[in-house]
Amino acid sequence: MNKENLRKAIENLPECGRIIGHEDFRNAAVLILLFKKNGEYHFLFEKRSEKVSQPGEISFPGGRINKEDASPVDTALRETEEELGITREKIEVIGDMGLLYSPLGATIKGIVGIADINSVEDVVINKEEVDYVFSVPVKYFLDNEPAKYEVVLHAHSYIKDSNGNKVELLPVKELGLPEMYEGCWGLGKPKVLVYKWNNEIIWGLTARFVFEVVNLRLYDDQH
C-alpha cells in the first residue's frame, strides 16, 4: 500500500453535502486504523467488551462525538487513546473517508489513520471497553470480496409498552394522513457486507468502511 497515494485518493473524494436534521441523529466518528507489520499494512480491529453497547462485535475504535471535541478527528483520536492506549502522537491522520449514514438513525465519520506500532502486542487495551485486538492484512480484503446480504427495515407509527398497551408515536388519524401509515411500512433493503477472517466476522458499518478504503484500489505490495 502506498501511503501517499492513499492520502491523495482520500483528498480527491467528492465532498459530502450537508445532512439536514443532522442534530437529530446519533453522531459518531471512528478511526479506520492501519499499521505496518513486516513491511505490509494491516487493519487493526478490536472486539468490543461485553460491558459496552454492541457487545462482542468487531469494530474500529470510535464513539459518539462530544460537544467538547474540536472535530470528528479529535473524537476518533480521543476514543483510540481511551480504548487502545495509542496516543495521538503515534497516529498519522491520512484523511477523512466521509460520512456513513446508518438507516437506524446514526451518522459515522470515518477517519483513516496510521499508527506507529509494530504489532498488536504494542496495544494496551482498556478491558472495560475492549475484549481483545487483532489485525488483518489489507491484501486479504483486496483478494476477497465481502458476502452481501440484505435486511428489511420498517417504520412504525406506534409501539407497545411493557404492559402491551399501544403507545402512539405518530397520530395518523388525527393528522389526516393516509391509512397505510397506521401500522408499519417499508423503508427499503439496505445492504449488509460481511467478511470472514479465521473465526472473526467483520460486518456491518465496519465492513463498509473497510470496503470503501480497499476499493480506492491504489495499493501494491511494495509500500
> Which residues on neighbouring strands pair with residue 186, listed in sequence order?
154
Cα dist from 175 to 156, 166, 167, 180, whole Å:
16, 18, 16, 13
Determine the longest span between alpha carbons in the chain, in angstroms. Answer: 66
Q: Note whether residue 147 is domain-resident.
A: no
**Is it the case that residue 223 has pLDDT exceeding 70?**
no
Q: How far apart are CA 101 and CA 203, in angstroms?
A: 15
Q: For 47-71, what is each residue's pLDDT tens digit?
A: 998 888 878 899 999 999 998 999 9
What is the reported pLDDT for 52? 82
Q: Note whether residue 24 is domain-resident.
A: yes
Average pLDDT over all residues of the chain: 90
Residues 16 and 64 both lie in one domain? yes
Q: Note whether residue 36 is domain-resident.
A: yes
This prediction's pTM: 0.87
Residue closest to 69 by CA, chosen among 128, 28, 21:
28
Q: Note whether residue 191 is domain-resident.
A: no
Residue 114: band (very low, low, confident or very high) from pLDDT cuts 50, 70, 90: very high
Residues 137 and 157 both lie in one domain? no
Cell (9 digits) for 155? 417504520
- Number of domains within the chain: 2
Q: Note whether residue 110 is domain-resident.
A: yes
Residues 80 and 164 both lie in one domain? no
Q: Note whether residue 158 is domain-resident.
A: yes
What is the reported pLDDT for 221? 45
Residues 123 and 171 both lie in one domain? no
Q: Note whether residue 70 is domain-resident.
A: yes
- Residue 158 is part of which domain span? 153-186
| Alpha carbons within 13 A on the beta-carbon side of 113 | 33
Residues 98 and 8 both lie in one domain? yes
Q: Note whether residue 221 is domain-resident.
A: no
Residue 106: band (very low, low, confident or very high) from pLDDT cuts 50, 70, 90: confident
Q: For 145-194, what is each residue's pLDDT tens digit?
A: 999 999 888 889 999 999 999 999 999 999 999 998 988 887 788 899 99
> Which residues on neighbouring strands pair with residue 209, listed in sequence order?
none
Residues 159 and 126 both lie in one domain? no
Q: How far apart are CA 22 and CA 27, in angstroms?
A: 8
Cell (9 digits) for 62? 470510535
Residue closest to 221 by CA, chosen among 12, 38, 11, 96:
38
Residues 80 and 163 both lie in one domain? no
Residues 40 and 82 both lie in one domain? yes
Residues 74 and 102 both lie in one domain? yes
Cell (9 digits) for 32? 479506520
